[in-house]
A and B are shown apart, each in its own frame.
Chain A
Amino acid sequence: MQILESGQGELIQPFDLDEFREWNRTRKSRKLTDKVMTEQEAIAQFVYDGCYIGTELYGTVRCPMSLAREVIRQGRKDLRVCGQGVLELDLWLAAGIVKKLDITYIGLEVYGTSACLRRAVESGQVEACVEWSNASISWRMKAAAMGVPFLPTRSMLGTDMLKYSAAKVVEDPFTGTKVALLPALILDVALIHVHRADRYGNCQIEGISGFALEMARACKRLIISAEEIISTDEIRKYPDRTVIPYYLVDAVVHAPYGSHPGEMAYLYGRDEDGIKEWVEMSKSAEGAQAYLQKYVYGPKDHAGYLEIIGSERLARCVDLRERRQA
């Protein structure tokens, strides 16, 4: 197959499908073992300097914020990051722990562009930004989840996105038209926040699933944080609700309000004041550091963080939740 165009972006996470298969065969237990642990234990055990890591969903929506803060607290650095994010990746950029980015979107949505991203990229602190569209990065994970080396797509064609990605354009051998090939993405570590999990890691998500199903199947280590730990009997009663089965999972962390200041569908809504506090403080490098001091380095763990937020504010978020229609 003739390569018509090659993106000049770095493939910052090269992959080996047979090695991934071997990993899944030898390093992922099929046994039902209790994987419940704390944020500290999970990050200490599975996240390492220089690893390729991703978070799901993003910043203000079902985001593993308690895990993201713990990564900073433990001083992990030189991370290569799968970059679809809002608050969580903004915090990492502010903490200076991101070395390379497969970037799709890092911004503050309704509040505009990210000052942390600007500072980190424009200063050269982030060494590489490889561009992908949201669909492309998800399909890269889907390729890994399928166990195939690439997926073809008609996204990215004809644009600078292709040029600054690590995708390739080829002539489709069946129809002769141009198609972009997206390389599989196998993450070293993925962090996903869910509504419920049992102690073994069988997970249920309510509302949209974002790219959780793909990411969970495209990583070597998967840390789940869950609003609630439920019994396996409950899981087995509704097996159709299990979107991430236990054998994909390495750690289960009980993290109530784990997405705060973001939302969790049907459980709690956004803490707008909490989000705005980051928006305002992150405008300057000093402000961002002060925020990290207050909310990340200050509290010893997630329980300490929730103490700072206070039960009154959390109750207000619960009031604002999306409600199922009667």
Chain B
Amino acid sequence: MSQLPYSKTELMICVAARLFEDGTTCFIGTGIPMLAAMLASKTTAPNIVPVFEFGGTGAMLEELPLAVGEARTFHKGVSALGICDTMETAQRGFIDYGFLGGAQIDPYGNLNSVVIGEHDSPKARLPGSGGGNDVGSHCWRTIAIMQHDARRFVPKVDFVTTPGYLTGPGAREAAGLPRGTGPMAVVSTLALMDYDPETCRMRLKALHPGTSIDEVKANTGFELIIPEQVTVNDPPSEEELRLLREEIDRQRFYI
């Protein structure tokens, strides 16, 4: 197999960046979502309003933030307030998209970032919800960005930290979560997924170039809906790669 001119992580960031809708408010989680937001703001969505949980709103993303509270999250921003303001803004319906990650995801888009194993005697204690639960509860649409393998794409997450569609159609509203909210897409290292509107289950939407449906299936621990039409995502453009490597993550924290 010939060496691709880009890594799977770079491709994942590019596909995620193209999902940003210009002129919208976007809650940005730590890590890969920050790179995707930066790339989007330098390409197809120059007018997104990034919101960082500890209070930064509307920053110009000129340097990669390494923490959700650092000064780069309000660099030339429109406001630098506190966590209650940003979270209350989300809770009253002002935040269009939430971009986040997690250690596990299930067919309904529920995410786990608390424990592997039992909560009270865990095999692995993970960092915890942070703002993840809030982002998944209050943003209109959420987009998860994750490595794709069968340990992460599981039939049932060990702990539901961030609500996806919970147990299926109507479950979010029945639990009291805001009407009309929920996961929109998953961008992985292998493909782009969305959700079947009837069943709320994850569905393959577009393969990354060089990936096969069989490869995606083999790396997914549950039955993924495979529609008749599956498109292929464009590979990273030269400009996207240049921005990622020379401007966004010069120090190679992520790529």
Contacts and interface: CB of A to CB of B under 8 A. Distances in A.
Real binding pair: yes
Interface of A: 57-62, 83-84, 86, 103-107, 109-110, 113-114, 117-118, 121-122, 129, 131-136, 138-139, 142, 153-161, 164, 169, 177-180, 207-214, 263, 265-266, 269-270, 272, 321-322, 325
Given A122-B125, A169-B176, A133 B75 contact: no
Interface string B58-93: 000000001111111111100011111001000100
Interface-centre pick from B81, B127, B128 (highest chain A CB count, 10 A): B128
B176 A161 contact: no
Interface string B24-45: 0000001100000000000000
Given A83-B128, A109-B67, A270-B66, A134 B83 contact: yes
B74 A208 contact: yes
B134 A322 contact: no
A135 B134 contact: yes
Give 4 closest A-B pairs by Cβ, nearest first: A158-B175, A178-B176, A107-B127, A208-B55
B176 to A, nearest CB: 3
B178 A154 contact: yes
7 contacts: A105-B127, A109-B66, A118-B124, A129-B125, A134-B53, A155-B134, A177-B176
B: contact size bracket? 35 or more
B153 to A, nearest CB: 19
Interface string B103-143: 00000001000100001001111111111111001100000
A110 B30 contact: yes
B159 A160 contact: yes
B124 A61 contact: no
Contact of A158 (B69, B129, B171, B253): B171
A214 B55 CA distance: 13
Interface in B154-183: 159-163, 166, 171-172, 174-178
B1 to A, nearest CB: 29
A322 B75 contact: yes
A153 B134 CA distance: 10
Contacts of A57: 54, 69
A157 B110 CA distance: 13
A161 B111 CA distance: 11
A208 B54 contact: yes
Given A209-B81, A210-B69, A269-B71, 16 more contacts: A61-B67, A103-B128, A104-B129, A105-B129, A110-B67, A131-B128, A134-B87, A134-B134, A138-B83, A154-B137, A155-B138, A156-B133, A159-B160, A208-B55, A263-B70, A272-B66
